[in-house]
Amino acid sequence: MKVRLFARARDLAGADTIDVDLPAGATVGDLRRLLGRRYPALAGLLQHSALAVNDDFADDALTLPVNAEVALLPPVSGG
């Protein structure tokens, strides 16, 4: 599965997409924890970021569908 990264998440990971392998039945929360372990620089940001699955915001309990399109959306600030 590919996870698309935006803004600060992209900067911290050094990539705009990340490939991950998760077992069937994995949840958004499982993905969030995997990303935090694999990319420690993202760990703090992940706590405050939204994850979208197939263009819909998802909570950590959602089971990831096969071939899901996932986006990591860090919080934004404006002025």
Q: From CA 74, how far away is CA 6, in angstroms rounded?
A: 7
Residue 75 pLDDT class (50, 70, 90 cuts):
confident
Report domain extents, the chain. Answer: 2-73
**Inter-CA distances, 36 with 7, 16, 60, 79, Å:** 17, 16, 14, 29
**pLDDT tens digit string along 10-20?**
999 999 999 99
Is residue 77's pLDDT more than 80? Answer: no
Q: From CA 58, how far away is CA 63, in angstroms rounded?
A: 9
Question: What is the CATH architecture assignment of 2-73?
Answer: Roll (3.10)
Question: Measured in whole angstroms, how far is the alpha carbon of residue 48 from the centre of its chain?
Answer: 11
Percent of the chain whose predicted confidence (pLDDT) is above 70: 96
pLDDT at 78: 55
